[in-house]
Amino acid sequence: MSSPWVTLARQDWADLARDGHIRLDSTTVNRLRGLGDPTDERDVAEVYLPLTQLIHLHRMHHDQLYAESNDFLHISPSPTPFVIGVAGSVAVGKSTTARLLQELLRRTPGNPKVELITTDGFLYPNAVLIERGILDKKGFPESYDRRALLDFVVAVKSGAATVTAPTYSHVIYDIVPDKLLTIERPDILIVEGLNVLQPAHVARPGGAGLAVSDFFDFSVYVDADAAAIRDWFITRFLALRDTAFRDPDSYFRAYARMTDDEAVEAGGHVWDTINAPNLVHNIEPTKDRATVILRKCANHVIHSVQIRKI
Ligand SMILES: Nc1ncnc2c1ncn2[C@@H]1O[C@H](COP(=O)(O)OP(=O)(O)O)[C@@H](O)[C@H]1O
Ligand SMILES: CC(C)(COP(=O)(O)O)[C@@H](O)C(=O)NCCC(=O)O
C-alpha cells in the first residue's frame, strides 16, 4: 500500500541541511531546553536546522500563494502569520522543540517576528475543572476552553493588531489571574500543546466545526514510546521535587518532602492515571495529522524524521 510518509534516518535527514548561517550557541541551547532534556548543539545542527529550512520553504510558498490568491480575488486583507503546531505527550519535550524552532526561525531570511504560545493558558481554571468533576483530567481535550483557543488563533491568523491569551503557572497548577500574554502581529505563530492536532468535534451538538489545527500551515509531532516517556516524566518529577516543588507557592509542595521511593510512586501514579490515558486515547491518535513526526529513542535522541510527502 502506498504511504503518505517518507521516513529519513537521522543522518540522511541531517545531510539535507543546506549551507546557512543559522547557529545557536550552547548557552542559548541550554537556556531553551526543558528540565532534564539533553538536546544539544549537535541536535540543533542535525535535526532542527533542516526542519527550520523545510518550514522556511513552506512559509515562502504560503506567503506567495496568499498574495496571489488575494490578487485574484481583488482583496487586500491584513498579512496573515504562518502558524505552526507542536504536539505530543506530556514530558516528551515539546517545549524544547517549540522554543528551538522559535529561535531558529527568527534567524531565517528577513528575521521574522516569531511568537510562541502554549495551550495550557486555555485550560479551564481549577475552580471550573472541580465544578465539572474533571480536575483529574487536566490536559484532556475537555479540560480546555477550546472555543477561546480557536478564537485566539483565528484572531492572530486574521492579522488582528493585538490579541491576548490567558497564562498558566505550573507552580500554582492553575491559570494566573490577571496575567495575560499579548501577541502583536507576528510573522510566525507557534502553538504548542498536547492536543493541538485534535480535529473539530463536529459530532457534538453546537460543536464548532473548526479546530485550531485547521489553521496550521505546518505541524510537528514529537514522538517516543510511552514506556520511555513514563521514565522521563518520573525522572523530571524527582528533579522537580528538589527544585520547583520547594517553592512555597507550589501546589505540589507536599511532594517536596517525599523520599525517592515515594516520589517515584507518586509520579508513576500521576502518569498512569492521567497522562498515559490521555496519550493513548487523545494525543497519539492525532500523530498522523502532523506534517513532520520527530521520533525519539529511549535516551531522548531523535533517531528518525517522518515527513508527510503528500
Ligand atoms: N509541576 C511542574 N512544575 C514546574 N514546571 C513544570 C511542571 N510540570 C512541567 N513543568 C515544565 O513545563 C514545561 C512543559 O511540560 P510538558 O507539558 O510536560 O511538556 P514537554 O515536556 O513536552 O515540553 C516543561 O518545561 C516542564 O519542565
Ligand atoms: C499543563 C499540562 C496539561 C500541559 O498543557 P499544554 O500546554 O500542553 O496544553 C500538563 O503539563 C499537566 O500539568 N498535566 C496535568 C497532569 C500532571 O499533573 O502531570
Q: CA 165 to CA 150: how far, in whole Å?
A: 11
User: What's the mean pLDDT in 179-205?
Assistant: 91
**% of the chain beyond a pLDDT of 70:** 98
Annotated binding site for ATP: 88-95
Per residue in 141-188, pLDDT (tens digit) is 999 999 999 999 999 999 999 999 999 999 999 999 999 999 999 999
Q: How far is the CA of 120 from the centre of ligand 2 (A)?
A: 7
If pLDDT is split at 50, 70 and 90, which confidence band does 19 have? confident
Pick from 109, 85, 94, 206: nearest CA to 157: 85
| pLDDT score for 96 | 97
CATH of segment(s) 5-308:
3.40.50.300
- List the single range of 88-97, 171-180, 201-210 with lowest mean pLDDT: 201-210
Per residue in 273-299, pLDDT (tens digit) is 999 999 999 999 999 999 999 999 999
In this model, does residue 27 exceed pLDDT 90? yes
Whether ligand 1 lies within 6 angstroms of the CB of 256 is answered as no
Length of the chain: 310
Domain limits of the chain?
A: 5-308
Give this complex's ipTM.
0.94
If pLDDT is split at 50, 70 and 90, which confidence band does 230 have? very high
Per residue in 121-135, pLDDT (tens digit) is 999 999 999 999 999
Q: Can you list the alpha helix ranges (DSSP code H) found in the chain?
A: 10-14, 26-32, 41-43, 49-73, 94-106, 126-131, 146-157, 226-241, 260-270, 276-278
| pLDDT score for 207 | 60
List of long-range contacts for 183-186, beta carbons under 8 Å, 24+ apart: 183/115, 183/117, 183/156, 185/78, 185/79, 185/81, 185/113, 185/159, 185/160, 185/161, 186/81, 186/112, 186/113, 186/114, 186/115, 186/156
| pLDDT score for 131 | 98
Atom 5 in ligand 1: which residue has the minimum CA distance? 170
Q: CA 150 to CA 152: how far, in whole Å?
A: 5
User: What's the mean pLDDT in 4-24?
Assistant: 91
If pLDDT is split at 50, 70 and 90, which confidence band does 203 have? low
Per residue in 37-49, pLDDT (tens digit) is 999 999 999 999 9
Q: How far is the CA of 252 from the centre of ligand 2 (A)?
A: 14
Ligand nearest to the CA of residue 118, numbered in listed order: 2
Task: Tell me which residues have their CB closer than 6 angstroms to ligand 2.
Answer: 90, 118-120, 138-139, 193-194, 270, 274-275
In this model, does residue 21 exceed pLDDT 90? no
